[in-house]
Each structure stands twice: as C-alpha cells, then as structure tokens.
Amino acid sequence: MGLLRGLGVIDYPSPLELVKPLRVQERELSWLTNEQIAELLQAIRTGCDNPHVEIIVLICLATGARWSEAEKLKPHSVRNRVITFSGTKSGKVRSVPISAELEARIIRHWREYGQPNSAITAFRRALSRTTIKLLKGQAAHALRHTFASHFIQNGGNIVTLQRILGHSSLAMTMRYAHLAPDHLQDALRFGPVL
C-alpha cells in the first residue's frame, strides 16, 4: 500500500479470501478382530519363511508401534518390561510398557535369530494366505490401527493413546474415538432434553 499512497488506496479483496480450504477425505482405517489376529498368527507360524515376522507382529500389536519401529529395535531398547522407541516418524522418543512374557520372548528371539531384518515382504505373503481383507496400502499399518482400536474399545483413554502412539496432535488420535464403548453417550447425559 505504501507505493499507492500518492495515487490513492485501491481496496481490492485478497484473492485468497475466495479460495475455500481444501477438504481432505479421512481414510477408513483397517484393523483386525481377535479372530483375525489368531488367523494371522497361525498363518505366520505355519508357513512363514522369515523367523522375524512373528516377533515384529507381536511387538506392533502389543505397543502400537509402526512396522519400521518394531523392525529396527535394538537390545538396549527393551528393559524392565518397557520398549523404548527412538528414531520415530515424529522424531520423539517414546516408551511403552509390555508384559514380562513378551519381554522374555523378544530376548529369546534375539538370542536365537539375532535382530530382525527386513521382514515386510514375508509378512505380506503370510497375510495373503489368510481370509483377511485390508484396505489397499494398510497391511503393516493395520497392526498399529489394531492396537489403537482395541485400546479404545477396551476403555482406554484417548490422551493416553496419543502418548503411546506418539501422535503430535490429539486430532490425529481422535480417529479412534468413535470406537469407544460410550462414544457420544454424553449427548444423552448432558443434552438439554432427557
């Protein structure tokens, strides 16, 4: 406007005022039922050519870890029934408690087979031998969604889930809120009409 001072001010609306915000369609999330988890583990145990697939799947299901986070775990990352994930997508370090049984199983696995290597292809092959149908591109990430979905369905707190998953915003974690057993029941309790 400083250049136009001598000529007078021309009041044009910002061209961006007319642009509507882009709406991104939220993707449906694939997650497994207890029966599907059992079917997947059976397919892995009976016909998987990579010994690391089962332990990675168990870590993902127990902690909500991304496949890459579970695959890259180091022995010092598992201590006192806690897995500490570093080098995460958000760049933040996060720790998630696990059962004593899973901790012992991870340690036994590493002693017998060493640390996991790339096992995603073997996982996809095992998944293809099941009746499970997932949305395109969600094979390994379905394990993370499965943890989150079961956590909320079993009464877990959405803020706690945010910390477990390492989401930087609660908005990201809210994708799972509709699975809570009392989802939207506050509308009945707190609304003006009984």
Catalytic (active-site) positions: 66, 89, 141, 144, 167, 176
Phi–psi pair at 98, nearest 5 degrees: -135, 170
SS3 per-residue string spanning 89-129: CCCCCEEEECCHHHHHHHHHHHHHHCCCCCCHHHHHHHHHC
Give the residue carrying structure tokens 């989802």: 183
Whether residue 96 contacts residue 32, with contact meaning beta carbons closer than 8 Å, is answered with no
Nearest 5°: the CA angle 53, 55, 61 is: 100
Single out the residue of 83, 62, 68, 76 nearest to residue 117, CA to CA. Answer: 68
Q: Count helices and strands (H / E) in the chain.
A: 9, 3
Residue 58, judged by CB atoms within 10 A of its CB (0-12, 13-18, 19+), counts as buried
